[in-house]
Amino acid sequence: MLGLRANRVGLVQASLKATDVVLEIGPGSGNMTVKLLESVKKVVAVELDIRMVGELQKRVLGTYVFF
């Protein structure tokens, strides 16, 4: 798994726009999700671990993240 620093580099290289909708597979605790929300319109997150879903929901409450 890539570290958060490497993920930030990937976000820059992805050339994301404020109008983009991103599908994130396996967001886990939401480190990447939070960074994505700084750059895009909406994140659709797919997480299988119900414990992680609960944590992620708390972390991104009030944002445009959909599960």
Q: Where are the domains of the chain?
A: 4-66
Side chain identity, residue 49: D
C-alpha atoms less than 13 angstroms from C-alpha of 63 in its C-beta half-sphere: 23
Side chain identity, residue 47: E
pLDDT in tens, 34-58: 988 888 999 999 999 989 998 988 8
SS3 13: helix
Environment class of 55 (CB within 10 Å of its CB; exposed 0-12, middle 13-18, buried 19+):
middle
Confidence of residue 20 (pLDDT cuts 50, 70, 90): very high
CATH class of the domain whose range is 4-66? alpha beta
User: How many Å apart are CA 26 and CA 16, to the nearest integer?
Assistant: 19
Looking up tokens 């708390």, which residue turns up?
58
Q: What is the mean pLDDT of the chain?
A: 81
> How is residue 40 written in tokens?
């895009």
